[in-house]
Amino acid sequence: QVQVAESGGRLVQAGGSLRLSCAASGPYVAAYSMGWFRQAPGKEREFVAAIDWSGGTTHYADAVKGRFTISRDNTKNAVYLQMNDLKPEDTAVYYCAAQGMPRPQNDLTSGEVYDYWGQGTQVTVSS
């Protein structure tokens, strides 16, 4: 059974930095593409960033390009989201997701292609 767990969320001032971690456990997780999504109060879940199994391909939402960096360490089965220059609009619950089986149309920016989700970690950015 694959499990995914996020950590690192907290209250931070605007302009500050934060690194979120995602620990994945279970068989073959090092071969999974991974993604970060977020959901703000009253809003739908939205894509933030994704990374393929090798770390060689990454995707970012326009809202976070140049500020956020996704990375992974397959020796630790971990994925990270480094967030810099945080803005109040980044306030949300951040979710990590793992894709067990690639889809034919494998759009890693879509939550529908992920099989396993964590419980989320709260990031609050104060102005």
**Do residues 78 and 21 lie in contact, with contact meaning Cβ atoms separated by under 8 Å?**
yes
**pLDDT tens for the chain, residues 1 to 127:** 899 999 999 999 999 999 999 999 988 888 899 999 999 999 999 999 999 999 899 999 999 999 999 999 999 999 999 999 999 999 999 999 999 888 887 899 999 999 999 999 999 999 9
> For position 103, what pLDDT does the model report?
84
In 3D space, the residue among 123, 37, 122 whose CA is nearest the CA of residue 79 turns out to be 37
Question: Rounded CA gap, 98 and 4, in Å?
Answer: 7
Tokens matching residue 126: 């104060």
